[in-house]
């Protein structure tokens, strides 16, 4: 209760304390409202979503999911939840032991979970395919409109005219207005903050004319990127458990998974039109349909709330969200890029709230559609979650930290099987924390220190620091145990070495030759140094091995005044292979706190070379905020903005705020999260340019780790 009151009062207090002279407090809703979305273009990349972090519902131009085929190659329509996972049957009893590939690692054999191909044998290939695809998130159902022309034929998306669609960020409401054959249609769409409920109000004369019906359809869950399949009706079951003019309850079954869908639809009749397809028809000549649809793992004792209740709950929930946490006001900036940066910041807050703030680490496409089967990548968790703590919403990061506690047993088992101590966190994983076969992912190590970073970030900004120390000590210390046992002692040179076998964050490097990649080396140093500090804070004796590694970790590889990608890549800035993918060299300061391992002059030279020579077609959305944080950390504020707002293919932000990458990844939430982390850090550490063009006001942002 006290913390909630503080969250409400802090924006006012900060504005009074930090604003000079008689300046008025920051008008948070003015910032938010000037970036409400108003779109009149029908584009498959312009779909909008409502959600609550655990559940999201993505709509097309009609305000519901009426034309999914049109959006399939853009940002697809879907209904997804944190609990909505399906596991296919496993008659062959595939296990991880079927996909082990052994490597010689400094004189001993270490098994990795590998992605085998058909040429490697039927069982290995079959196990690879099943283990990568299961479990997978799936589309819980499609709710759209059947729209008819005046001549009685079915309307298509080309018949939607006079369209204007708006997303009002302060209330979380999508308003969709359009006409079919000259007849107006108006739809309001909202999501309940504390239940997986989507609710809408449809108003049109087409309803009383019998030309508009609500359509509900249920696809099969499938282990592929789309997450749904309409061509296999025999694979799943839809049962209408009960129905009357007020409500309908469906039971959905596929293999060993079951869930429920309850629709509140006063004065309407639910009719089956085909297998897994239903229509909702008004029982009387009315021009309004209101419905609320709740998706759940188990049936509720009572039905979902009516539209008016959900609409009001959405308004209150979003009002509380925008009034809590941090805010940044760019309205007094004169740099022409400032308004667009503010738009990206505001829309990224909305998108990460509805897509990334649940109880599990999010997938890179959140709850919109499946990427990598809906599994999440723990090396990306930094980009998804660190910003929540920086924007004074650390309760979201803490909620997701529970995941590491939940899977610590599996992570410990992985470490022991490979002959290491502590816990080895997975890369591409699921709610159970099981690793997925890969020829890249299982060899990555840069996700390992993330939990230490998160714990330290929470400690840095905690009121009760001892509570944080006790809560996360096991995670921090067992993570450090693995990191220490993973490092190899080179007795000849009296130093500790990382690799091989490993693939660094710059995935274009060779796993069997990579030695001491610079980012991982600095992260190992910082992570173990921080674990040592945690021991001291708890008045315990630090592990001597941790202390020794901090003292003797390898120096960063340098050639011609530039940081190399790794010790073995002497041609880092000549070989095109090494000037592609993530320019992770930049992350050694900025993303990571400054350390004695890093020379700012060498890093600056490296940033200049990256700017001139990098293949920007191959970068990813989070690379640009990473580069910005790096430049800002060494006093190059102008260069930081140039990186942050670079005109590059994967630094594009769509009308809906999504960070577009390519046709496969039409949205990429690590880019949005990285942007928020960079802006918060640059505000708190006064790292925006001091050229008179960046007159930024901010309040209630948290400190970065030191």
* Nearest alpha-carbon partner for 31 in 705, 696, 503, 491: 696
Judge whether residue 350 has pLDDT over 90: yes
> Average of pLDDT values for 387-412?
98
pLDDT value of position 590: 98
The predicted pLDDT at position 228 comes to 80
* pLDDT band for position 266 (cuts 50, 70, 90): confident
Q: What is the pLDDT of residues 529-544, one digit of tens each?
A: 999 999 999 999 999 9
Summarised one tens digit per residue, pLDDT across range 118-163 is: 999 999 999 999 999 999 999 999 999 999 999 999 999 999 999 9
pLDDT for 284: 81
| pLDDT score for 285 | 82
Give the pLDDT score at 7: 46
The tens digit of pLDDT for each residue in 414-440 reads 999 999 999 999 999 999 999 999 999
Mean pLDDT of the region 165-189: 98
Domains, the chain, with CATH or none: 34-86+136-322 (2.70.98.50), 337-672 (1.50.10.10)
Confidence grade of residue 665 (pLDDT, cut at 50, 70, 90): very high
Question: For the segment 47-72, what is each residue's pLDDT rounded down to a tens digit?
Answer: 999 999 999 999 999 999 999 999 99
Please state which of the ranges 15-19, 204-208, 513-517 shows the lowest mean pLDDT: 15-19
Rounded average pLDDT over 650-679:
98
- Average per-residue pLDDT for the chain: 95
Q: What is the DSSP string of 444-487?
A: B-TTTTHHHHHHHHHHHT-SSHHHHHHHHHHHHHHHHHHHHHHS
Residue matched to tokens 């853009």: 74
Helix (H) / strand (E) element for 147: namely strand 142-147
The pLDDT, as a whole number, for residue 97 is 97
Q: Please state, in angstroms and rounded to a whole number, the distance separating the CA atoms of residues 546 and 180.
A: 69
- Quick one: DSSP state of residue 553? B
Q: How far apart are CA 58 and CA 315, in angstroms?
A: 18
Q: What is the pLDDT of residue 22?
A: 55
Residue 220 tokens, joined: 């099969």
Query: Is the sign of the CA dihedral 523, 527, 528, 529 positive or negative?
Result: positive
**367 pLDDT above the threshold of 60:** yes
What is the C-alpha separation between 435 and 131, in angstroms, rounded?
Answer: 9
The pTM of this model reads 0.95
């Amino acid at each position: 209760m006290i913390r909630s009151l503080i969250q409400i009062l802090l924006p006012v207090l900060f504005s009074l304390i930090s604003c000079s002279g008689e300046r008025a407090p920051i008008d948070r809703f003015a910032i938010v409202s000037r970036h409400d979305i108003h779109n009149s273009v029908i584009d498959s990349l312009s779909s909008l979503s409502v959600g609550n972090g655990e559940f999201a519902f993505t709509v097309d131009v009609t305000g519901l999911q009426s034309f999914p085929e049109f959006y399939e190659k853009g940002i697809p329509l879907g209904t997804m939840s944190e609990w909505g996972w399906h596991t296919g049957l496993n008659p062959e009893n595939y296990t991880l032991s079927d996909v082990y590939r052994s490597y010689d690692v400094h004189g001993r054999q270490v098994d990795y979970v590998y992605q085998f191909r058909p040429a490697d044998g039927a069982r290995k290939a079959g196990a690879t395919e099943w283990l990568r695809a299961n479990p997978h998130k799936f589309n819980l159902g499609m709710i759209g409109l059947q729209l008819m022309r005046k001549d009685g034929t079915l309307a298509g998306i080309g018949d939607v005219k006079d369209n204007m669609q708006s997303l009002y960020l302060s209330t979380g409401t999508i308003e969709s207005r359009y006409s079919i054959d000259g007849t107006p249609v108006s739809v309001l769409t909202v999501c309940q903050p504390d239940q997986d409920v989507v609710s809408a109000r449809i108003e049109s004369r087409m309803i009383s004319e019998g030309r508009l019906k609500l359509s509900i359809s249920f696809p099969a869950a499938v282990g592929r990127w789309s997450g749904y399949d309409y061509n296999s009706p025999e694979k799943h079951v839809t049962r209408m458990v009960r129905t009357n003019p007020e409500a309908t309850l469906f039971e959905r079954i596929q293999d060993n998974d079951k869930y429920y869908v309850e629709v509140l639809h006063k004065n309407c009749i639910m009719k089956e039109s085909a297998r897994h397809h239903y229509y909702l028809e008004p029982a009387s000549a009315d021009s309004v349909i209101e419905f609320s649809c709740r998706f759940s793992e188990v049936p509720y004792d009572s039905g979902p709330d009516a539209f008016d209740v959900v609409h009001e709950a959405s308004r209150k929930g979003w009002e509380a969200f925008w009034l809590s946490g941090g805010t940044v006001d760019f309205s007094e900036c004169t740099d022409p890029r400032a308004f667009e940066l503010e738009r990206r910041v505001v829309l990224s807050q909305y998108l990460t709230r509805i897509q990334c703030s649940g109880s599990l680490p999010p997938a890179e496409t959140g709850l919109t559609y499946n990427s990598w089967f809906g599994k999440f990548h723990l090396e990306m968790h930094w980009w998804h979650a660190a910003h929540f703590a920086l924007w004074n919403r650390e309760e979201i990061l803490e909620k997701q930290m529970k995941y590491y506690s939940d899977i610590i047993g599996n992570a410990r088992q992985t470490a022991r099987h490979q002959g290491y101590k502590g816990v080895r966190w997975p890369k591409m994983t699921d709610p159970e924390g099981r690793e997925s076969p890969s020829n890249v992912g299982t060899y990555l190590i840069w996700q390992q220190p993330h939990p230490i970073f998160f714990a330290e970030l929470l400690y840095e900004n905690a009121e009760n620091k001892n509570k944080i120390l006790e809560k996360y000590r096991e995670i921090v210390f067992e993570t450090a145990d693995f990191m220490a046992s993973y490092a190899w002692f080179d007795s000849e040179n009296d130093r500790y070495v990382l690799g091989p076998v490993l693939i660094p964050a710059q995935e274009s490097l060779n796993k069997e030759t990579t030695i001491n990649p610079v980012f991982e080396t600095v992260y190992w140093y910082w992570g173990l140094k921080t674990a040592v500090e945690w021991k001291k804070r708890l008045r315990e004796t630090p592990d001597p091995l941790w202390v020794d590694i901090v003292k003797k970790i390898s120096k960063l590889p340098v050639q011609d005044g530039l940081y190399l990608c790794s010790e073995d890549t002497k041609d880092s800035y000549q070989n095109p292979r090494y000037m592609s993918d993530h320019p992770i060299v930049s992350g050694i300061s900025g993303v990571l706190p400054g350390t004695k391992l890093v020379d700012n002059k060498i890093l600056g030279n490296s940033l200049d070379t990256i700017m001139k020579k990098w293949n920007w077609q191959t970068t990813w959305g989070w690379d640009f905020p990473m580069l910005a944080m790096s430049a800002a950390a060494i006093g190059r504020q102008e260069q930081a903005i140039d990186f942050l707002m670079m005109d590059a293919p994967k630094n594009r932000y769509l009308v809906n705020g999504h960070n577009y990458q390519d046709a496969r990844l039409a949205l990429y939430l690590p880019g949005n999260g990285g942007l928020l982390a960079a802006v918060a850090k640059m505000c708190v550490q006064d790292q925006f340019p001091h050229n008179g063009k960046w007159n930024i006001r901010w309040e209630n942002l948290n400190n970065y780790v030191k």
